[in-house]
């Protein structure tokens, strides 16, 4: 009788499935397994109910016996069914009550951590003109890169297919040490170089390995949002420090009142306002950091437009014994999707830092790292940078001129000493977020300057405009669209004409 009851209980579960066509690319046995598992979990098939034999199920529902047999075997293996001399029965499991498909009552669900609630939501950006942080992906030497990748795959072994060597591929660490010494004046050996998958992970590692929860970190105000996210996620206490024309400018009393455990700087080209940290302040930060750490994010130093042949020295190079972690990436020279960044740590911290990084993160991309090493060794990357430097400088000049025409009486342009973006400061009456939304409708991507600030009341109003993907011939027209988005239609016709010339 029990068997008949259980058998009958399968009818409403299986009847519709038998008539239906295969869905979602699942085989019939996968569908049967899924249906039976769901019925057990939600209690429609109760503990102790005896199922028909696979042979009987196949006969009754006109399915292949192997379909029933394989579904039963999978459920037996996972513990949903048990088999004994009496047949196959549902195991003694506590049913899982189904949740409504739509439930607006957040109290019914477990919450995320408070830390997660503080993290900044950032939507993905389309690859459109004026999107910040992007180089010209169309100009990258893809043919040369593909050849180096092919060569690296030809050398692949089991070691490269497993996790990469701790700290990164030795040949890339050597090539990077040579490259950084020659291009940026970073004083380091290959052992001091650690390869990580992306600048965001490098900042996360610094936040977790150099400070403890509730320690104080000084961030530039405004600041790179991903840096603030990393520090927030690590539970650090953020102190926003204003920047001026010479970079971060802490008030004198701040050193005594809130001494930093971490000090995050973008000295070569402050992000997003573009100031270059003066030599005097570089030396002051090195002198006053005490038992704290400086994170030198050299994210935007590949293209120095003001002094291409004599850039200011990096902090790390001024005193290689200082507690400075030098962070860099190849996103502007290669492409962001490669996810390769690096950290240079003081020689006296290599062992401890290296062991901690290895414990927290598993290295990968060994093949890509070998290809990148040869890109550096062969000078391909340097030649690409030299070829792109005048192109980017021309785009910046064109963007600057167009912005002056469109916004010269109401706006102020910041930055441009290096990198691939400019910032446009606008009057407070202009809502930069609304401008960005309207610009997107006109096919132009920009970022609102106000969202780079930690303190909303102190936020400046404006736009952050990248020119890496902006063709010179189109820049005047694109700026005209920005003018339209701000409501400055008076200048629109003239700028449209300039774009057609």
Question: All domains of the chain, ordered by start, with CATH?
Answer: 2-90 (1.10.10.10), 156-378 (3.40.640.10), 386-500 (3.90.1150.10)
As a whole-number percent, the residues of the chain with pLDDT over 70 amount to: 83
Q: Report the range of poorest mean pLDDT among 68-72, 171-175, 415-419.
A: 415-419
Instruction: Tell me the pLDDT of the chain averaged across its residues.
Output: 84
Taking only the tens place, the pLDDT of each residue in 17-54 is: 655 555 556 778 888 888 888 888 888 888 888 888 88
What is the mean pLDDT of the segment spanning 420-427? 92
Q: What predicted TM-score, i.e. pTM, was given to this entire model?
A: 0.74
Establish how many alpha carbons lie within 13 A of residue 38's alpha carbon, considering only the half-sphere containing its beta carbon. 11
| C-alpha pair distances (Å), 31 with each of 62, 157, 345, 380 | 15, 39, 54, 53
What is the mean pLDDT of the segment spanning 251-265? 95
| C-alpha pair distances (Å), 107 with each of 96, 99, 102, 112, 115 | 18, 13, 14, 12, 18
Given a contact cutoff of 8 angstroms between Cβ atoms, the answer to whether 376 and 175 are in contact is: yes
Q: How far apart are CA 101 and CA 481, in angstroms?
A: 43
Extract the tokens encoding 45.
Answer: 């098939």
Residues 198, 199, 200, 201, CA torsion sign: positive
Q: How far apart are CA 129 and CA 398, in angstroms?
A: 13
Q: What's residue 6's pLDDT?
A: 44
Given a contact cutoff of 8 angstroms between Cβ atoms, the answer to whether 329 and 162 are in contact is: no
Given a contact cutoff of 8 angstroms between Cβ atoms, the answer to whether 444 and 127 are in contact is: no
What is the mean pLDDT of the segment spanning 328-350? 89
Confidence of residue 162 (pLDDT cuts 50, 70, 90): low
By C-alpha distance, which of 350, 327, 331 is closest to 267? 327
Extract the tokens encoding 436.
Answer: 């960005």
Largest CA distance in the chain: 91
What is the mean pLDDT of the segment spanning 179-191? 91
Close Cβ partners of 380 (under 8 Å, ≥ 6 residues apart): 141, 144, 148, 374
Q: Report the range of poorest mean pLDDT among 136-145, 348-357, 476-485.
A: 136-145
Question: Which string of DSSP letters, residue by residue, matches 11-52?
Answer: HHHHHHHHHSPP-TT--HHHHHHHHHHHHHHTTSS-TTPEEP
Q: Is 217 in a helix, a strand, or coil?
A: strand
Given a contact cutoff of 8 angstroms between Cβ atoms, the answer to whether 476 and 492 are in contact is: no
By C-alpha distance, which of 196, 425, 438 is closest to 330? 196
Q: Is 412 in a helix, a strand, or coil?
A: strand
Establish how many alpha carbons lie within 13 A of residue 413's alpha carbon, considering only the half-sphere containing its beta carbon. 20
- Give yes or no for residue 301 having a pLDDT over 90: no
Q: Is 264 in a helix, a strand, or coil?
A: strand
């Amino acid at each position: 009788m029990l068997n008949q009851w259980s058998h009958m209980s399968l009818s409403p579960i299986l009847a519709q499935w038998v008539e239906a066509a295969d869905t979602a690319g699942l085989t019939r046995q996968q569908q049967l397994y899924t249906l039976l598992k769901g019925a057990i979990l939600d209690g429609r098939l109760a503990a102790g109910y005896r199922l028909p034999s696979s042979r009987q199920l196949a006969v009754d529902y006109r399915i292949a016996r192997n379909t029933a047999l394989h579904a039963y075997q999978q459920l037996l293996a996972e513990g949903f069914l048990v088999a004994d001399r009496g047949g196959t029965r549902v195991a003694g499991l506590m049913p899982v009550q189904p949740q409504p498909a739509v439930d607006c009552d957040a109290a019914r669900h477990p919450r995320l951590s408070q830390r997660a609630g503080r993290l900044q939501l950032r939507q993905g950006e389309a690859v459109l003109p004026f999107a910040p942080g992007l180089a010209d992906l169309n100009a990258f030497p893809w043919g040369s890169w593909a050849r180096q990748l092919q060569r690296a795959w030809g050398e692949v072994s089991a070691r490269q297919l497993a996790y990469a060597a701790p700290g990164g591929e030795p040949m890339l660490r050597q090539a990077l040490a040579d490259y950084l010494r020659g291009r940026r004046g970073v004083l380091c050996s290959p052992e001091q170089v650690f390869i990580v998958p992306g600048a965001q992970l490098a900042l996360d590692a610094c936040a977790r390995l150099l400070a403890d929860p509730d320690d104080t970190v000084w961030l530039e105000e405004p600041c790179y949002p991903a840096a603030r996210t990393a520090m927030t996620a690590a539970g650090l206490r953020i102190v926003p420090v204003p920047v001026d024309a010479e970079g971060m400018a802490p008030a004198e009393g701040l050193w005594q009142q809130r001494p930093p455990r971490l000090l995050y700087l973008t000295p070569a080209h402050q992000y997003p306002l573009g100031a270059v940290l003066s030599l005097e302040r570089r030396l002051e930060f090195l002198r006053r950091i005490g038992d704290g750490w400086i994170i030198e994010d050299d994210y935007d130093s590949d293209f120095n437009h003001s002094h291409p042949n004599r850039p200011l020295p990096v902090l790390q190079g001024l005193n290689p014994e200082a507690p400075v972690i030098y962070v860099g990436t190849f996103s502007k020279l290669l492409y962001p999707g490669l996810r390769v960044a690096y950290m240079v740590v003081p020689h006296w911290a290599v062992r401890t830092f290296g062991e901690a990084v290895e414990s927290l993160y598993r290295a990968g991309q060994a093949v890509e790292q070998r290809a990148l090493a040869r890109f550096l060794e062969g000078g391909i990357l340097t030649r690409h940078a030299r070829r792109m430097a005048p192109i980017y400088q021309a785009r910046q000049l064109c963007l600057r001129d167009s912005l002056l025409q469109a916004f010269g009486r109401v706006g102020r342009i910041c930055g441009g000493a290096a990198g691939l973006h400019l910032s446009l400061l606008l009057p407070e009456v202009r809502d930069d977020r609304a401008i960005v939304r309207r610009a997107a409708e006109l096919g132009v991507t920009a970022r609102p300057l106000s969202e780079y600030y930690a303190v909303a009341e102190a936020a400046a109003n404006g736009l952050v405009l990248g020119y890496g993907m902006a063709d010179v011939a189109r820049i005047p027209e694109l700026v005209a669209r920005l003018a339209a988005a701000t409501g400055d239609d008076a200048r629109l016709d003239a700028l449209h004409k300039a774009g057609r010339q």
